[in-house]
Each structure stands twice: as C-alpha cells, then as structure tokens.
Amino acid sequence: MTIETLKIKEELRGLIDDYASLGDEKRISEQMDLFTPDVTYKVYMNDFLAADISGRRQLEEEFNGHASQVKTYFTLNGQHKVNINSNDATGVSFSQIKMIRENDGKVFITDYSVRYNDTYVLNDAKWKIKDRVGYFVIVETRNIDN
C-alpha cells in the first residue's frame, strides 16, 4: 500500500466522520458541503425504501426537516472499508446512531444500526460523497422518561 493510498483512506475516513459530527451538531448547511451537487441519497429501513433523494438542495431540506424533530443526535462510526480508483472510490461504513425525540410529552430514544454504501469523488482537490445508500438494519425505540 502506497503513502498516497493511505492518505486517501485517511481523507475518506475524515469525510464520514465529519458527516457524523456535523449531523450530531445539526450543522446541516456545513454538512451539505460534504456532498456533490448532484448527490443521490437513499435510505432503506430493512427492505423498505424510506427515502430517495436527488440533489444537495433537496437533501438539505430533508435533513433540516428531520433535525427539527430530533432533540439530540449521537453517532459512533465503526468500520470503514474503501476501494480507490484514481479520482473516485467506493466504501462501506458502519454507524450506531442514537436519536432523542419528544412526543406527546414523552421522551424516546431510537437506536439505529446502519450500513452505508458510498461512492466518493475527488472534486476540486476534496473528496465528496456522490451517492449514499443507508441500510438501517436494526431499529429499536424505547421510552426513557424517568
């Protein structure tokens, strides 16, 4: 493995970590800078296609709408495996995401176990996410009121 390959892998890992950190902080407009303008973003809840979004503007609207319903996000990234091909790459990453919501005066936490399949491109000397498919494999919600 070359130094250049290691550098790219580190940059791509930074990209997915930045995605998680900015999302947790609800810094959605900054998070959008991690995507290409023509991004595609799909979400599967088990086998059900829950979202199919095209373009950064639509993605930002979706993320802002979702963030308005969530009190707190907490994301922990796990494995990240990539295949690099010059100015593009593919990757698989795994995340544990916790979301706190309030509904009818009750507080709920939802735990998500997610696998992301990504396509990355080098755009103006920065790696960006071009296509992302999130597979929400395990979803568990419970009340956390005391």
Which residue, chain included where needed, has tokens 């993320």? Answer: 63
- Percent of the chain past pLDDT 90, that is, above it, reads 90
Is 3.10.450.50 the CATH classification of the domain at 3-143?
A: yes
Q: How far apart are CA 71 and CA 109, in angstroms?
A: 10
Q: What is the pLDDT of residue 82?
A: 97
Domain boundaries, the chain: 3-143
Average pLDDT, the chain: 96
Task: State pLDDT tens for residues 64-109.
Answer: 999 999 999 999 999 999 999 989 999 999 999 999 999 888 999 9
Q: Are 29 and 61 in contact (CB under 8 A)?
A: no
Task: State pLDDT tens for residues 125-146.
Answer: 999 999 999 999 999 999 997 5
